[in-house]
């Protein structure tokens, strides 16, 4: 958060409800510092391998914790029936730039290179805040913020 703010930007944090339960103070801080928040299901469920009932229950459980009207399906995987149900309550937000920071087989440098090559004005860039993604995300975020600044662009919340 502080790197975004130092660059004059804001982000949208799609949060997993279980993580909100484990770190309520961090969730409150994200919101209080002017960043947007969105639902990413209670348990990071894949819509392609989870029954509609279980997926929608996970969506609703996270929605109770997060509120708002933004939803990002984990892995970008959502069935048509799930999307139709969720669209009655939330805007489904996808992305056009996937940093690849979640992929432990990729180098931080390759994630930076691909992200900077793909970003455009209005892009929605996905970064992850997990321990698994940290080595790559910590390389991508400052490089991306510098690149945006050089172009005269800023990171903005949805």
Q: What is the pLDDT of residue 94?
A: 97
Q: What would the pLDDT profile of 39-82 be if each residue is shown by its tens digit? A: 999 999 999 999 999 999 999 999 999 999 999 999 999 999 99
Domains of the chain: 1-94 (3.20.20.370), 95-150 (no CATH)
Provide the 8-state DSSP code for 96: S
Q: How confident is residue 124, by pLDDT bands cut at 50, 70 and 90?
A: very high
Percent of the chain beyond pLDDT 90?
A: 93
**Which residues make beta-bridge pairs with 14?**
38
pTM above 0.85, yes or no: yes
Give CA–CA dist 50/57, Å, rounded: 11
Q: Which of 82, 149, 64 is nearest to 72 (CA)?
A: 82
Terminal Cα distance for the chain, rounded: 15
How many Cβ atoms from other residues are within 10 Å of residue 146's Cβ? 12
Q: Which of 126, 157, 119 is nearest to 11 (CA)?
A: 157
**Residue 97, token pair as written in the block:** 């730039």
Percent of the chain beyond pLDDT 70?
A: 99
Give CA–CA dist 153/145, Å, rounded: 9
Q: What is the pLDDT of residue 2?
A: 85
């Amino acid at each position: 958060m502080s790197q975004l703010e130092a660059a004059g930007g804001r982000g949208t944090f799609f949060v997993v409800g279980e993580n909100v339960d484990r770190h309520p103070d961090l969730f409150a801080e994200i919101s209080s510092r002017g960043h947007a928040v969105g639902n990413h299901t209670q348990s990071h469920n894949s819509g392609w391998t989870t029954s509609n009932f279980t997926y929608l229950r996970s969506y609703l459980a996270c929605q109770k914790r997060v509120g708002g009207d933004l939803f990002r399906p984990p892995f970008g995987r959502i069935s048509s029936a799930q999307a139709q149900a969720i669209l009655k309550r939330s805007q489904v937000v996808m992305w056009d730039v996937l940093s690849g920071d979640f992929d432990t087989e990729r180098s931080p440098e390759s994630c930076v290179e691909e992200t900077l090559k793909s970003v455009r004005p209005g892009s929605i860039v996905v970064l992850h805040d997990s321990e698994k993604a940290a080595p790559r995300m910590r390389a991508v975020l400052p490089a991306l913020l510098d690149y945006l600044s050089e172009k005269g662009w800023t990171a903005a919340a949805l």
